[in-house]
Structure 1
């Protein structure tokens, strides 16, 4: 297989991303970006991409940074295409509506922004998620600076009876999408 990209490898005894999976995905991304063979890939697809782990595979941090740049490039292109397709005014209204839905969730009372897991199940730390939700509220309400990478990199500790991960992750994906749309 022709290698699309080379990243540093993790030490042989340490796990890294499966080299073949990463290279195959990057090949597909290149084809999609170049419009070859009608390969379809979106910034959302890139954001949700996961690779298997193998000892001595690609160093995860370097691949993750490359995926973020790739997601940014696809999001920029999607934004430009959407503006041309529906017009800038409609495109902005769509982004505003998405932001309104996010803000409605963030404006819920602390400890009640998301559904909780059962008392015996792990979810995200309620306090940590609510603290980050406050940062997001300042971004959306007051324009307080927040970088899309802050949203991408946020990590919450597990907690029994915590917030349901899927709901929190979906909100963070929506925030990322809105932030990339209005860059």
Structure 2
């Protein structure tokens, strides 16, 4: 399906559902680069939505690694499973439930992605500290200013270093009857950090 090692699978290759979010291609590529993935790693994708991060991470960590994708929306879980099947990935396990309840049962991770969490991002960041190996990476995608503020406060008090904040605003081309125009997408702030 996707015969490249480079991240950035075009969004149109993924199965989609109306109320299930997807991390857009360009933002996803930046998040993956901030994670510094390697073969054999254990990765969480919390708030997996359509599973686009899970798919791309699964490709990057190869068959020796494992992705644990979690979402509390049954539609997201089913959509992630469809996308995993479409991309023929067997190194990703999809878990239905609240990440705050599930995370304590998971094995220790090398990388944790945190996406759509229904307002629980700060709590999940706190819980993630204990589930991340020393030297492990956390990558958080944020769209709300309030969430950004609360996550930065939490990271300041926890054992994280090399905190990087990158805000991404992407415009994509769209053909019209008279030519091509650029359409802006909502900005996304990506916070990445290393556990010390």
Query: TM-score category by the smaller chain?
Result: under 0.3
**TM-score normalised per structure 2:** 0.23
**TM-score normalised per structure 1:** 0.25
Q: Which has the higher helix share?
A: 1
Larger RCO: 1 or 2 (CA < 8 Å, sep 6+): 1
Q: Which has the higher strand share?
A: 2
Larger radius of gyration: 1
